[in-house]
Amino acid sequence: MKNIELKQPSSCCAAPAIEQDIMKQQPNNNFKNKPVVIIGAGPIGLAAAANLAERGEDFILLESGTHVGHNISDWGHVRLFSPWQYNIDKAAARLLSKHGWVAPSPDALPTGQELLEKYLLPLSELPEIKSKLILNTKCSSDQPKRHRQNEIRASRKQSFCDLY
């Protein structure tokens, strides 16, 4: 099993004042060589991966399902309420276009299955993302938040993301 350890957060998604308080509690460490861990390879996780790839940042993309956007498969027959133009991340579109992808009509309303087949799956197959994607990954927390140290154990067959 491949082990990756992330001991302290370098930033968080909290409000700036809360983030400053959190960061004051953490010792200063050099995080320049640590990858960003993205949990979930749905539309948002893949958009985050595309933005990081475009910037040349190192990342790991973890997905609990057998393929990206796995949960979308459950409602693939449903037509989305927003057209393609609001469902495609700009960085993802730029990466896909470099590899010959032709964007769907921006005003068309896709189904969940079309979102998977015409956008998410092609995006996940790009070399910039595919090499960083780990499927069948479960994440759990078994320690109180005040004692968390992040440790990720991942392998392509069976992976666990433990947050202590």
Per-residue pLDDT of the chain (164 residues; tens, 9 = 90+): 344 454 545 455 545 555 565 555 555 566 667 899 999 999 999 999 999 999 999 999 999 999 999 999 999 999 999 999 999 999 999 999 999 999 999 999 999 999 999 999 999 999 999 999 999 987 776 555 544 444 444 443 344 454 33
- Two tokens, residue 156: 């392509």
Helix (H) or strand (E) run with residue 48 in it: helix 43-54
Would you call 20 exposed, middle or buried from its count of C-beta atoms within 10 A (0-12, 13-18, 19+)? exposed
For the purposes of burial, counting CB atoms within 10 Å of the CB of 143, is it exposed (0-12), middle (13-18) or buried (19 or more)? exposed
- Confidence at residue 142, expressed as pLDDT on a 0 to 100 scale: 59
- The pTM of this model reads 0.71
CATH number at residue 66: 3.40.50
93: region left, alpha or beta (phi > 0 left; psi from -120 to 50 alpha): alpha
State the pLDDT at residue 20. 60
| Residue 113: HSE in the Cβ half-sphere, 13 Å Cα cutoff | 5
3-class SS letters over 70-130: HHHHHHCCCECCCCHHHCCCHHHHHHHHHCCCCCCCCCCCCEHHHHHHHHHHHHHCCHHHH
Q: What is the extent of the structural domain holding 110?
A: 2-163
Give me the residues paired with residue 153 across strands: 3, 160
Total tally of structural domains belonging to the chain: 1
Distance CA 5, CA 153 (A): 8
